[in-house]
Amino acid sequence: MLATSPLSAWQQPLIRRSLRTGGVIAYPTEAVWGLGCDPWDQQAVERILALKQRPVEKGVILVAASVEQVQFLLDPLPQTMQEQAMSFWPGPVTCLLPDLQRQVPDWVRGRHTSIAVRVSDHPVVRALCETAGMPLVSTSCNPAGRQPARHIWQVRRYFGNRLDRIVPGALGGNRNPSRIIDIVTGNQLR
């Protein structure tokens, strides 16, 4: 666990249990509230997609507390691509990494051959990933076509009791969701 975790000692086991049993959580990120779950739990990811009314083909982002949590995706890449991705992290930049060995499930990756990955510097996001012991799905907390939640009351209005847990905390200082950089082409997609 993080030494200065914003999650209390009693929250950590509850969150860990929620995530390991297919739970869907809402939590603050760098700019907007996010929805998250265990990316290797297909039913949990499908719950998020149903809540958001988002097609699986679009894919979702993985967010991590450290480079070590996503090292398995970096290892197959050329050193220059690894270094480029790591130059953005930790921080509010999502990198599209080729999933050369198809290590991430289709229900996370969608129709893409790359996976969107961010190593966050937001204290709550980092604490959640540390508590879970893995990267998590991270997608904006809103139904399709609606504005992403920027306040906890919006999270409750959008999804109410359909979430397993709402993790309290403040948004980071960013006004816009993370930039997305394609590591292969260097293009900024968002």
Structural domain boundaries in the chain: 11-182
Which CATH entry fits the domain spanning 11-182: 3.40.640.10, 2.60.120.10, 3.20.20.20, 3.90.870.10?
Answer: 3.90.870.10
Residue 129 pLDDT:
97
Map tokens 């991705």 to a residue: 85
pLDDT for 20 = 94
Instruction: Name the nearest CA neighbour of 38 among 14, 54, 62.
Output: 62
What pLDDT is recorded for position 29? 95
Tell me what pLDDT residue 73 has: 96
Would you tell me how many other CB atoms lie within 10 Å of the CB of residue 111?
Answer: 10
CA distance from start to end of the chain: 32
98 membership: H or E segment, kind and range: strand 93-98
> pTM of the prediction?
0.92
Low-confidence ranges of the chain (pLDDT < 50): 1-3
Cα 111 to the center of its chain, rounded Å: 18
Write the DSSP symbol of residue 46.
Answer: H
